[in-house]
Amino acid sequence: MVILLISWLFQSMGEAGMGVYLILYFLLEWFYCVFFEMFKDGMTPGKKAMGIQVVHDDGTPLGWGASILRNILRAADFFPFAYLFGIISMATSKEFKRLGDHAAATLVVYKPQPQRKSKLTEAGTRPAPFLLDLDEQQAILAFAERSLTLSTSRQKELADILAPILPLGSKTAEDEALSDTRVSEIKKIANGIIGQS
């Protein structure tokens, strides 16, 4: 769409405009991917949206020569039509490589997303009263992380559900302060799980 708009704009400038357009089109077609792969950690905007990146076969960052070679060979992948050679190459390759990746010794891999460090609101830590398995730890962390979006009464209700398994005091019907304490103590246990004080 953008290329069509640019084409229309430069056509109105006559032959000189069309000459500039053809140069721009050539640069975009052949060096768009190279530019982004070299300056954006092996990712074009499309690759970034899909969570993938290009690296050398040994996992090292992509170099200029490999990027240029793999992108020039996109034309060979297209032959005879509709990227047929590229599809055949990927279907018959153990690593699902297209022709350009074979020639340049590159791989397209998933880029791991950085882990988001939780920032919990409660100060202080409290050790868990017993060894928690992974599901229990995740439940406590989910409660602590979501506490800002939960009403106070909902936080107390959820904390009271944990009362039988976490020795945080026994609640009587009139003891509302104990529910507040339970909420606070569970958040402190969450702090201990992620190593936040």
Side chain identity at residue 158, one-letter code: L
| pLDDT tens-place string over residues 142-193 | 888 888 888 888 888 888 877 666 765 555 444 566 677 788 888 888 888 8
**Contact status, residue 160 vs residue 173, Cβ threshold 8 Å:** no
Give CA–CA dist 168/180, Å, rounded.
11
In angstroms, what CA-CA distances link 103 with 52, 57, 74, 178? 20, 11, 11, 68
Residue among 76, 128, 140, 142 at smallest CA distance from 103: 76
**Contact status, residue 86 vs residue 99, Cβ threshold 8 Å:** yes
Give CA–CA dist 30/34, Å, rounded.
8
pLDDT band for 87, please (50, 70, 90 cuts): very high
Residue 82, sorted as left (phi over 0), alpha (psi -120 to 50) or beta, turns out to be: left
**Contact status, residue 55 vs residue 46, Cβ threshold 8 Å:** no
Q: Model pTM? A: 0.56
Q: Which residue has better confidence, 119 or 27?
A: 27
Above 70 in pLDDT, residue 97?
Answer: yes
Q: What is the mean pLDDT of residues 27-48?
A: 92
**Contact status, residue 77 vs residue 102, Cβ threshold 8 Å:** no
Return the pLDDT at 173: 45
Return the pLDDT at 119: 64
**For the chain, what percent of residues have pLDDT higher than 90?**
36
Listed range (118-122, 130-134, 169-173) with the worst mean pLDDT: 169-173
Average pLDDT, the chain: 84
- Domain range summary for the chain, segments of one domain joined by +: 29-110, 134-194
